[in-house]
Structures are given as structure tokens and as C-alpha cells.
A and B are shown apart, each in its own frame.
Chain A
């Protein structure tokens, strides 16, 4: 149903030369999978599909592109696109966004990803055309008194642990890391031409799998995601070692919300938290 509509839209866009390429999903080479594809020829638009395995964040292909692009975007993709527009990585005029309200993506066992379970922005926040009806947002599931209750439960529990327990968990998770950089490459907001881990002068971090370097890399990457992570789960899906990265990345999202009342990628015109300030920002941790 949605497949057909996406194909029609893509075909029309390409025929009318309104875009150079449509980025969407096609059937994967393995069963129960979908893989990103780039359609340049209107006759090939039939390849486009939509199902619950279209988890990849397609915004990853946008930064610094000169083409006019039609892009299939679910809720989290659209928020990443907003971040990229805010950061001048792509122009809004270049994009034709085919928004798709998303009911959550599943893994191969047909289980919803846990970031989809707590997703609050299933409907694209920015789009030119919407395929299908808007779906109901998750907000009702949240505790009525404290907005954060259910969503942040896992992270608030973690905050209460002793620092040695926290560190133990960090070490046990990150010692699995093989430094393949898949989390960085899959992330739509990790688009720097030269990442801090690749820099030679100064050399920030060693290239070996020394645990201290691994932790430095992840802390640095997570810090750089502050105010930019949309919790699309790209890093977690990309990780070959199944590291529980969200346990740490979501702390940043939570802080952005609690300290600066900023939620990533909702409005192009709102300034990201680190590019602005308020005179009464929190400073109770400063002597």
C-alpha cells in the first residue's frame, strides 16, 4: 500500500526532473531485511519498498550533497534532516521529503527496537508530502505527573548507582568495542570530514583498542552528539558487538531536555543548545 504510493511519488519526481535522486529502501539481499537504495531512473522506482525493517537513518547520505534529493523519511530521519539543515549541511530547497508516519521498526524476530518503544516523534516533523495517515504519538504512555517518568526510567535508575558500579558497567560494555567506527559512520550527525579520532595534530586518541582510548573515543563521540542525537538507534543497529550505547547517549538527550529544555530536530528556526545561551543557565555545579 505505502510501497505503491512511494513508488508513484518517486516516479513522478524523477520524471518531472524535480529531483536528481530518490533515496529510499529496497528489498534486502537477505530475507527480513531492507537496504537503502538510490533511484535515479524513473523506471527503477518500482524497487522502492516500505516495511518494518527500514530502520536505517537515510539522513546519513545527505551532508554536503549538491544534488536535489527526494528522501523517504520517517520520524527520526526527519528530525536528523532538521539538524542537518540547522547546521548548514544541506539546504531545505534541495530536499523533497517524502514523510512516512512510522509505527516503529523491528528486528528480525519482529520485536520492536527499544528506542522505537519510547519514540515520541513517530510522525515526520518536516515533509513535503505525507504517505499514509498520521499515527498517534506515544505521549499518552508517559506518567501524567512527571513527563520524563517512563521514558527516562532506565537512565534515572542508572544515575542512582554508585560511581564504581557505573564505571564497571561502562568498562564491561565498552571493552567489547573493536573500534570499527561503525557507530560513527552510521550516525547522520557524525559528518565531520575529519573526526577527532582521526586527527593527527593534535592526536586526541590512540588508535589501538586500549580500553582507555576506547572510552575516550566513546565519551568524545557522545559529547559531540549533545543536542544533536535524535535517538534513531543507528549506532546501536550498526554495532557488530551489540554494545549498549544508548545507555550513555541518552544521558545527553536527557540533559539537553532537563538543563536547556531543548529537544533535537523539532524546529529549524530554534537554535541548537550550544550555539546560544541564557543568562540564567544552570550553574550550581560551578564554585
Chain B
């Protein structure tokens, strides 16, 4: 009982350099409170996200993954997130199809001015992952 209470999820957030990472920065500067469960990895663009990163993260034992980039149309590289969106749509539905729970993998658009939204997204993601409990399915046991 006490074990489940003390369990805290590990969440990896892949944030694009130009929007979401700056959004996270703004959330920090604005002293907005959000759960400390997320570990941020900065990627140059959401289009840089190889969808295998998501599976790889789950294999290494994280409980949840968030991928976040600029809003469509706002990409620093003009079209990066449009391509990314197609890849995400496919990998998201494939993962759900093979049995990864719906709340494990999240995607969001957060711009550099949306510090508040960033905090909200992290709250939401953490809540969802907490509900699901520890991820065990893909974890590599040696």
C-alpha cells in the first residue's frame, strides 16, 4: 500500500528547441508549479523525433513519454512539425494497436509563449501516467 503511494512515475519529455523547450523555460521563469516527474530531452525540432525514440524510452523503463513541438504553421523550419504529425499519428495508433495503454504516450503543441499550457500539459500527463501505474510491458529485463 505504502509502496504504491510513494511510487512516482518517470516521464520523458521530448521538447522541440524553438517552442516547447522555451515554453518550459517560461513556465519556470513564471514560477508555475507542475509535477517534477518529467525529464526533459531537447530535440532540434519535433520533426527530428525518430518515433523509435518513444519505443526505446519505454523499453528503458520510463512510465510515460511526452512529445511536444511548435503549433502547426509555427515551425522554425517551416514544415518540420507537419511531417512529424504524420509520423506521430501512425506510431501512436500502432502502439495502441499492439497494446500500449492510451495514456502512456502523449503528444502536444506548446508554443514559446504558452508557459501556462506547458504546466497544464505536464499535470495532465503525470496524472494519466499515475493512473496507469508503472510501465512493465516493454521494459527489458536482463
Contacts and interface: CB of A to CB of B under 8 A. Distances in A.
Interface of A: 158-159, 163-170, 196, 204, 206, 210, 212-213, 215-216, 219-220, 222-223, 226, 248, 251-252, 255-256, 259-260, 273-274, 277, 279, 281-283, 285-287
B89 A282 contact: yes
24 contacts: A168-B99, A215-B98, A216-B52, A216-B55, A216-B138, A219-B95, A220-B52, A223-B51, A226-B90, A252-B90, A252-B94, A255-B89, A259-B89, A259-B93, A274-B83, A274-B87, A277-B82, A277-B83, A277-B85, A281-B89, A285-B107, A286-B88, A287-B107, A287-B124
B81 to A, nearest CB: 9
Contacts of A283: 72, 85, 89
Given A163-B99, A252-B90, A287 B108 contact: yes
B139 interface: yes
B109 A287 contact: yes
Contacts of B92: 285
A279 B82 contact: yes
Interface of B: 51-52, 55-56, 59, 72-73, 79, 82-83, 85-102, 106-109, 121, 124, 137-142
A283 B86 CA distance: 9
B137 to A, nearest CB: 6
Contacts of B90: 223, 226, 252, 255-256, 259
Given A287-B106, A287-B121, 20 more contacts: A159-B97, A163-B100, A167-B99, A168-B99, A204-B52, A204-B56, A212-B139, A212-B141, A216-B55, A216-B56, A216-B59, A255-B89, A259-B93, A260-B86, A281-B86, A282-B89, A283-B72, A285-B88, A285-B92, A287-B108
Given A285-B92, A287-B124, A248 B86 contact: no
Contacts of B140: 206, 210, 212-213
A206 B100 CA distance: 21
B140 to A, nearest CB: 4
Contacts, number: 107
Contacts of B106: 287
A215 B59 CA distance: 10
A286 B98 CA distance: 20
Given A279-B82, A286-B107, A287-B121, A248 B89 contact: no
B85 A281 contact: yes
A212 B108 contact: no
Nearest to A259: B89
Decide if the interface of chain B is mainly helix, strand, loop or mixed: helix
A258 B72 CA distance: 21
Contacts of B51: 223
Nearest to A280: B72
A259 B99 CA distance: 20
A202 to B, nearest CB: 9
A223 B94 CA distance: 8
Nearest to B142: A210
Contacts of B82: 277, 279, 281
Contacts of A206: 140
Contact of B94 (A210, A255, A281, A286): A255
Contacts of B100: 163, 167
Nearest to A166: B99
A163 B89 contact: no
B108 A158 contact: no
Given A204-B52, A212-B141, A163 B94 contact: no
Contacts of B86: 259-260, 273-274, 277, 281
Contacts of B79: 277
